[in-house]
Structures are given as structure tokens and as C-alpha cells.
Amino acid sequence: MNPKKSFRIVVLASTNGTDFGAMLAEKSAGKLQGVEFVGLVANKNCGAVERAAASGVPAFVLDGKAENFHAELLATVKNLNPDLICMVGWMKFLRADFCAEFENKILNVHPSLLPKFAGKMDGSVHEEVLKAGEKESGMTIHLATADVDAGAVICQKSVAITDNETVESLRAKVQDLEKKWYPEVIRWFRDGKIYF
């Protein structure tokens, strides 16, 4: 059997794909050697689809509201034969059959220091963090499972919250961490530093 020539990544996205942009920039700069983005799968047209098109990454836009969405998602990703699946602003829950098919191969990034503020999405997370009077926040890259935001933590990094912090300023700080560390975690998986 021939060894694989590349480490195959599928990205799941529903939004702008800011972290996907950081991954593509690192790839372009030669910092993700051996990594191939074999597909971007979105549940609607979004900024991440445009990023994929601009970078020559095949994009698959599925109808997130369709009755057969989950079956189509599973079939599409299976066909791409990924070594790793990276969720970036993916606003759909994954079904148990999908998680079982790709067990220990699905990463999600959550904009808080899990387990704090689990189960919430982007802007509402930052709002809750500020309302709670937290002194720090951050991001968590973890394995995705059928239980939302409950998979094993792979990487967690924090930022201080200032007295005049806003949802937007906190989001920007957290996204800077995500953009720095998501490509690094991909390298850990590519190099076999993380295994299950």
C-alpha cells in the first residue's frame, strides 16, 4: 500500500471562515507542509465559500434546512476521505452517526474557556462572558462529539479582559488566538503528536 502523500483536511463552515483564512494563509506561506485542504463544506452560502473559491479549494454548499441534510453531509465528507475535519464557525449540530464515523478526527473551536460558556455561539458567548464579570476569556480547540462542546480539550489559550471591554473587542482578541493556534493544532495532528 502506498503511503498517503498528503494530510487531508475537510473544513466545515457556516460563516465568514476567519480561521479558515488563517489556515489558508499559513498554507500559502509554506507553514502547513503536507497539508491539503480537500474540501470546504458549508450549510449555506457564506464568506468561507468565497475564501475556498479564491484559494482553489473545492466547496460543497449543502442546504442546511433540507430533510436529508445530515445524510448528505455524511456522504459528502466521507467521499472526501479526510484525515481531519476542522469546524470553523459551523452553526449546525453534528449527529451521532457523523461523530461515530469520524471519531477523534473532528475538531471544533469554541470562543470561551470550556467548560465555561459551553453550548452558546460566538457573539452570545462574548456577551455572556462580559455579563458574568469574568477577568479572562479565550478559546478552546477540542474534539467534537455528539455532546456539544464536551469533547477532549486539545488546546486552550486565554486573554485578559480589560475594564472597557466590548463584545467586539473581545471577539477580536479571541479570534486572534484562534487564528494563531488552529493551524498549530493541525500541525500537531499531521505530525502524529496527538493520537487516540
pLDDT tens series, the chain, 196 aa? 445 579 999 999 999 999 999 999 999 999 999 999 999 999 999 999 999 999 999 999 999 999 999 999 999 999 999 999 999 999 898 999 999 999 999 999 999 999 999 987 776 899 999 999 999 999 999 999 988 888 999 999 999 999 999 999 999 999 999 999 999 999 999 999 987 6
Q: Per the domain annotation, does 1 fall within a domain?
A: no
Contact call for residues 155 and 185 (beta carbons, < 8 A): yes
Q: Are 14 and 42 in contact (CB under 8 A)?
A: yes
- The structural domain count of the chain equals 1
Residue 100 included in any domain: yes
Position 14 scores a pLDDT of: 94
CATH number at residue 122: 3.40.50.170
Q: Specify the pLDDT at position 195.
A: 72
Long-range contacts at 20-28 (CB < 8 A, ≥ 24 apart): 20/48, 20/51, 20/52, 20/86, 20/88, 21/51, 21/179, 22/178, 22/179, 22/180, 22/182, 22/183, 23/86, 23/182, 23/183, 23/186, 24/51, 24/55, 24/57, 26/183, 28/55
Q: Which domain holds residue 112?
A: 7-190
Q: Which residue has cell 430533510?
A: 67
Return the pLDDT at 194. Answer: 84
In this prediction, residue 1 carries a pLDDT of 42
Residue 2 counted as domain residue:
no
Model pLDDT, residue 56: 96
Q: Residue 94 and residue 52: Cα distance in Å, rounded?
A: 22
Asked whether residue 29 is domain-assigned, the answer is yes
Identify whether 161 is part of a domain: yes
pLDDT at 8: 97
What confidence score (pLDDT) does residue 196 get? Answer: 66
Quickly count helices (H) and strands (E) in the chain: 6, 7
Task: Give, in degrees to the nearest 5, the angle at Cα 76 between 75 and 79.
Answer: 80
26 found inside a domain: yes
Element (H, E) at 165: none
Residue 39 has what pLDDT?
A: 98
Let me know if residue 162 belongs to a domain: yes
Residue 195 lies in a domain: no
Lookup result for grid cell 476542522: 86
